[in-house]
Amino acid sequence: MFYLAVSSLQSDFNPESLTPRFMLWQPAAGENHAIWLLDLRPVWPYWCQQAGISPIKNQMNHQERLHSFLRQAVAALGGEGAVAVMDVNPWRALMGMEVMRERGLQGFVSADNPIGRNLVSEASWDIWFRLAGEVAVHWFGCGRERFNLQVFRGQARQMAQGMERLGIQKPTALTGMAAMAIRRRYGAALHDLWLWTAHAHEHDELGSCGFPWVLWHQQESVQVKRHLDMPLLEWEHIESVLRDDVDRLCTLLNKQGVGRVLSLEWRVVFLDLSCLVIPIRFRHPHDLPAESPHHRTALLQACYAFEDAISAAMGAAIDFGVYEKAIGSWDLLVTEKITLPPVMRDLFGAIMDAGDDRLQELENRLPIPLKAYEITNNWIPEEGYCLVDSLSSSSTMAEQKSLGEITRASFHALGRQRPLFVYPKPRACPQPINQSRTWTFRERIMDKWWRSGSASSQGSTQRDYYVMRDQEQRAVWVFKDGTGKWYVHGMYN
Amino acid sequence: MVPTNALQTPENIADILAQYGVRTGASAIDMEMDPTRFLSGNAALDEFIEGGLISGAVSEWGMPAGQGSREIALSFVGRATTSEMLVLWVNGQDGLEVYPPAWSARGVDLRFIRFVTANKPIELLKPIFLEPLFRLVVIDSPKHLSGEEWAFIARQARAMRVHVMVLQSFFLSGRRGNIWARLRINCKQRSNVACGDGWHLEAVRGTSRQPLNLPPLDM
Q: What is the pLDDT of residue A323?
A: 56
Q: Does pLDDT of A118 surpass 70? A: yes
Report the residue from B95, B104, B124 with minimal CB separation from A367.
Answer: B124
A420 with B70: Cβ contact below 8 A: yes
Please give the Cα distance from A304 to A300 (Å, whole number).
6
Q: What is the pLDDT of residue A347?
A: 55
A368 with B66: Cβ contact below 8 A: no
A356 interfaces chain B, CB cutoff of 8 Å:
no
CATH number, domain containing residue B71: 3.40.50.300
What is the rounded average pLDDT for all residues in chain A?
A: 82
Residue type, B182: R
Residues of chain B in Cβ contact (below 8 Å) with chain A: 63, 65-71, 74, 86, 88, 91, 93, 95-106, 110-111, 113-118, 124-125, 127-128, 131, 133, 192-195
| Mean per-residue pLDDT, A374-395 | 71
B128 with A366: Cβ contact below 8 A: yes
Q: What is the pLDDT of residue A351?
A: 44
Please give the Cα distance from A106 to A104 (Å, whole number).
7
Show residues of chain A in contact with B66, CB under 8 Å: 470, 472-476, 491-493
A414 with B125: Cβ contact below 8 A: no
Q: What is the pLDDT of residue A317?
A: 58
Q: What is the pLDDT of residue A200?
A: 67
Phi, then psi, of A221 in degrees rounded to 5: -90, 150
Q: Does pLDDT of B152 surpass 70? A: yes
- In percent, the amount of chain A with pLDDT more than 70 equals 83
In terms of residue numbers, what domain contains B154? 36-214
Q: Is the ipTM of this complex over 0.85?
A: no
Please give the Cα distance from B219 to B199 (Å, whole number).
15
Instruction: List helix spans (H) across A111-202.
Output: 114-121, 125-142, 149-166, 179-186, 188-198
Across A2-16, A69-83, A282-296, A395-409, the highest mean pLDDT is recorded for A282-296
What is the rounded average pLDDT for all residues in chain B?
A: 83
Report the residue from A367, A375, A492 with minimal CB separation from B193.
Answer: A492
A475 interfaces chain B, CB cutoff of 8 Å:
yes
Q: Per the CATH hierarchy, to which homologous superfamily does domain A223-364 belong?
A: DNA polymerase, Y-family, little finger domain (3.30.1490.100)
Show residues of chain A in contact with B133, CB under 8 Å: 358-359, 362
Tell me if B2 is assigned to some domain: no
A384 with B99: Cβ contact below 8 A: yes
Q: Does pLDDT of A485 surpass 70? A: yes
A365 with B127: Cβ contact below 8 A: yes
pLDDT tens, residue by residue, A195-236: 888 776 655 555 567 888 888 877 678 899 999 998 898 899
CA distances to B172, B178, B179, B182 from B175, in Å: 9, 10, 12, 16
Q: Does pLDDT of B180 surpass 50? A: yes
**What pairing do the DSSP bridges indicate for beta strands A258-270 and A327-339?**
antiparallel
- Total residues belonging to chain B: 219
Give the pLDDT band (50/70/90) at residue A95. Answer: very high
Q: What is the pLDDT of residue A356?
A: 55
| Mean per-residue pLDDT, A303-325 | 73
Q: Does pLDDT of A173 surpass 70? A: yes
Q: How far is B65 from chain A (nearest CA, A)?
A: 5
Please give the Cα distance from B165 to B63 (Å, whole number).
12
Q: What is the pLDDT of residue B28?
A: 40
Q: What is the pLDDT of residue A394?
A: 37
Q: What is the pLDDT of residue A267?
A: 95
Across A127-136, A202-211, A313-322, B16-25, the highest mean pLDDT is recorded for A127-136
Q: Which A residues, 381 through 440, put their C-beta within 8 Å of a C-beta on chain B?
A: 381, 384-385, 411-416, 418-424, 440
Give the pLDDT band (50/70/90) at residue A70. Answer: confident
Tell me if B21 is assigned to some domain: no
Show residues of chain B in contact with A472, CB under 8 Å: 66
Q: How far is A317 from chain B (nearest CA, A)?
A: 27
Q: How far is A475 from chain B (nearest CA, A)?
A: 5
pLDDT tens, residue by residue, B25-67: 444 444 444 567 899 999 999 999 988 999 999 999 999 988 8
| Mean per-residue pLDDT, A434-455 | 71
Q: Which of B89, B99, B130, B171 to mutate to test the interface with A (most CBs of A within 10 A)?
A: B99
Report the residue from B101, B127, B194 with minimal CB separation from A385.
Answer: B101
Q: What is the pLDDT of residue A374?
A: 86
Tell me if B123 is assigned to some domain: yes
Torsion, Cα B87 B93 B97 B102, to 10 degrees, reads -60
Tell me if B41 is assigned to some domain: yes
| Mean per-residue pLDDT, A52-81 | 72
Q: What is the pLDDT of residue B57?
A: 94
Residues 6 or more apart from A111 whose CB is under 8 A from it? Answer: A1, A85, A86, A87, A88, A92, A93, A96, A117, A119, A120, A394
Q: What is the pLDDT of residue A437?
A: 59
Q: What is the pLDDT of residue A282?
A: 93
B99 with A371: Cβ contact below 8 A: no
A493 with B127: Cβ contact below 8 A: no
Show residues of chain A in contact with B70, CB under 8 Å: 420-421, 493
Tell me if B168 is assigned to some domain: yes
Cβ(B184)–Cβ(B200) under 8 Å?
no
Residue A470's closest chain B neighbor by CA?
Answer: B66
Tell me if B95 is assigned to some domain: yes
Q: How far is A243 from chain B (nearest CA, A)?
A: 18
B105 with A412: Cβ contact below 8 A: yes
Q: Range with the lowest mean pLDDT among A46-55, B94-103, B149-158, B160-169?
A: A46-55
- In percent, the amount of chain B with pLDDT more than 70 equals 80
Please give the Cα distance from A95 to A103 (Å, whole number).
13
Across A50-54, A164-168, A276-280, A374-378, the highest mean pLDDT is recorded for A276-280
Please give the Cα distance from A261 to A248 (Å, whole number).
14
Higher pLDDT, B25 or A309: A309
Show residues of chain A in contact with B71, CB under 8 Å: 420
Q: What is the pLDDT of residue A145?
A: 86
Give the pLDDT band (50/70/90) at residue A447. Answer: confident
For chain A, where do the domains classified as CATH 3.30.1490.100 start and end?
A: 223-364
